[in-house]
Amino acid sequence: MIDITENVIPIGKYHKELCLLDCGGIVAFEGRIRNHNDGKEVKDLSYECYKPMGLKVLDEIVQEAYKKWDIKKSFAIHRIGNIPLGEIAVWVGVASHHRKEAFEVCRFIIDEIKQKVPIWKYETYTDGSKSWIEGCKH
């Protein structure tokens, strides 16, 4: 399942759906809103998205993962809009028979999201300045 949503990501519900009897490995990545970036204290963060294209690109990433690896179920969910510090902005969960595929696919999906899905961070700092973040340094 993929989604780009303004709502809190229901990770408990999604995790339960990954608990399949034939899957011995579940790997999840959650990206959370940090309170600092490039030496500045972040007060507030929001995400802008080109949603129709974002959903299409996200779906292509996940479809590619299913072609390359033998996995049974996955979630790739990105939250957008204003997100409070500490909350989850992106959640990727993968279930497979064995751990190797689950680890590899989880890493693949989050790395591809950070390179390809048209979403941008807009940060407001405690000193009152604001900045678009364009490109991924980490």
Partner 1 sequence: MIQKALNKTITVKILFFASLKNYFNTSEKTITINENTTLKELRNKLFLETNISQEKLLTLLYAINHNYVSLDTLLKDGDEIAFLPMVSGG
Footprint of partner 1 (CB under 8 A): 31, 47-50, 52-53, 56, 78, 89-90, 110, 113-122, 132-136
* CB-nearer residue toward partner 1: 73 or 116: 116
Closest listed residue to residue 77, CA positions, set 63, 62, 64: 62
DSSP run (H or E) holding 6:
none
State the CB neighbour count (10 A cutoff) for residue 132: 9
The Cα 7–Cα 35 span in angstroms is 20
* CB-nearer residue toward partner 1: 31 or 72: 31
Closest CB 19 distance from partner 1, rounded Å: 25
Closest CB 22 distance from partner 1, rounded Å: 30
The Cα 109–Cα 73 span in angstroms is 13
Strand partners, 44: 124
Tokens standing for 15?
């995790």
* CB-nearer residue toward partner 1: 2 or 23: 2
> Which residue in this structure is represented by tokens 């959370």?
32
Closest CB 133 distance from partner 1, rounded Å: 4
* CB-nearer residue toward partner 1: 69 or 131: 131
Closest CB 95 distance from partner 1, rounded Å: 21
The Cα 6–Cα 98 span in angstroms is 33
